Structure 1
């Protein structure tokens, strides 16, 4: 079994909470791609995180957390910046993020920072999320995408609060189309689809991305499961019933589970194989929703079997 490379951001989430009757923020290590990498590792996959980390105590905690989770840091670089923060507030299980920090510690990876041999040797390459809004990291992601001999997976993971200016959404749409056109797998949420392609049904979004060249498209639908478009087959895969308390990282865990399965068994040869993979990934996401936090709630296969014995 080979390894995966996950290129993207790592930061610290401050989650709205309460202590002794007073509002507080609970610190949690996060960032969508970091969550993906941890999910892969917890499910038994070999994974390397590629991104820029700050030079402060929070960055050291991120490094220690990733190392303990079994995520490699051979492609991570240290930059002279404080660790970026994402402050999350809740109106239900879905978090609303606002980002703080200048310069953004996660946005300073450059194309020259990439380890070409690390990218070339990967079985799976993940790119996506908010780093694609920053030109230096976008250039690094483009370079990695172009030299990868691997299965390429993409997740736009849109954060509307970071879309700055009237042309930002159109520019992001172009980047999404660029990466999707040569992706073996694109995973996005209904929220991502609604921002990128307003008014378009998810079936239409999946069809469009496949027309661009994406091999398989998975659109997560929250409690309703996921839509899977593989070959000419489009189906909805139901999600397990869970008692959701915090959806932070749930979509990332689905992505991580799909990558872990690609590492373990390669690309499915038919749509039915994708349906089974997505059903597995939705169980992972469901279990994540039953615990607070993102990366810290990523489960092992043993925990998954205990929670969903059938």
Structure 2
């Protein structure tokens, strides 16, 4: 089994909660690509993480967290701005994010930070999320994406708070469709699809992404499960029943689980193979939803077995 290269943001989530009748904010390490890197690693995968961290105490904590969990962070770059904060509020278990810090500490990865030999030797390269919306990171991601060799997986991870008007939505749609065209797998949420394509449902969004050029699409639909599509066939898979307390990082855990399966077994030959991968990923996400806090909730294989029994 080889390794995955994961590019994107690392930041600190301030999660709104209540204690003794008072609203407080609990600190948690997050960022969708960081969650993906941690999720893949916790499931036994090998990850090389590319990102930028503020050269401050919060950046030190994130770097230490990655080292502690075994994520290869030799390609982390420290930058002279404060580490980005994401204030997270909730509607039930579903999070909403507001970002603070300009320029964002996560946006400063440069093309010359990308080691082409590391990416070329990888089995999987992941890109996407909010870091892609800013330069110079966007150019760094394009450079890594263009390198031949690894499977390409992508998650737009749309954040409406960062899209102030219709022009911003159009610009993001054009950007992510550029990456969709050469992706082996696109994972997005039903909420992402609605924002990108004027309320499109999972089937319409998946059909569009496949026609653009992606080889497979997984649209997560929260408690309803996930829609899985290839050019030949599609299916809606139910999610396992859970007692959700915090959905932060659930979608990222799906991507981490899918990367873990791609590292172990490669691209499935057919829709049935993708269904096995996605059932596994939904079980991972269900367990994440039963614990608070994104990256720290990413489970191990042993924890999955304890919760769900033997998984495909």
TM-score band, normalised by the shorter chain? over 0.9
Query: What is the correspondence of 1:125-136 to structure 2 with a 5 Å cutoff?
Result: 125-136=125-136
Could you say which residue in structure 2 is the equivalent of 1:114?
114
Distance 2:125 2:41 in 1: 14
8 Å CA contact 2:225–2:282 kept in 1: the answer is: yes
Could you say which residue in structure 2 is the equivalent of 1:181?
181
Could you say which residue in structure 1 is the equivalent of 2:140?
140
Could you say which residue in structure 2 is the equivalent of 1:203?
203
8 Å CA contact 2:35–2:252 kept in 1: the answer is: yes
Could you say which residue in structure 2 is the equivalent of 1:261?
261
Distance 1:212 1:94 in 2: 30
Distance 1:57 1:263 in 2: 34
The TM-score, its normalising length taken from structure 2, stands at: 0.97
The TM-score, its normalising length taken from structure 1, stands at: 0.98
Q: Tell me by how many angstroms 1:78 deviates.
A: 0.7
Distance 1:239 1:96 in 2: 22
Could you say which residue in structure 2 is the equivalent of 1:28?
28
5+ long unaligned stretches in structure 1:
none
8 Å CA contact 1:3–1:124 kept in 2: the answer is: yes
Q: Tell me by how many angstroms 1:304 deviates.
A: 0.3
Distance 1:231 1:306 in 2: 36
Distance 2:124 2:266 in 1: 9
Q: Tell me by how many angstroms 1:14 deviates.
A: 0.1
8 Å CA contact 2:55–2:79 kept in 1: the answer is: yes
Query: What is the correspondence of 1:13-52 to structure 2 with a 5 Å cutoff?
Result: 13-52=13-52
Q: Tell me by how many angstroms 1:255 deviates.
A: 0.3
Distance 2:222 2:23 in 1: 28
Could you say which residue in structure 1 is the equivalent of 2:79?
79
Higher mean C-alpha deviation, range 164-173 or range 187-196: 164-173
Between Structure 1 and Structure 2, how many residues are aligned? 310
3-state SS of 2:72 partner: strand
8 Å CA contact 2:123–2:263 kept in 1: the answer is: yes
Q: Tell me by how many angstroms 1:192 deviates.
A: 0.2
8 Å CA contact 1:180–1:186 kept in 2: the answer is: yes
Q: Deviations over 1:122-161 (max 9, x none)?
A: 1100000001110211111100000141000000000011
Q: Deviations over 1:96-124 (max 9, x none)?
A: 10000122100111111111111111110
8 Å CA contact 1:32–1:252 kept in 2: the answer is: yes
Could you say which residue in structure 2 is the equivalent of 1:90?
90
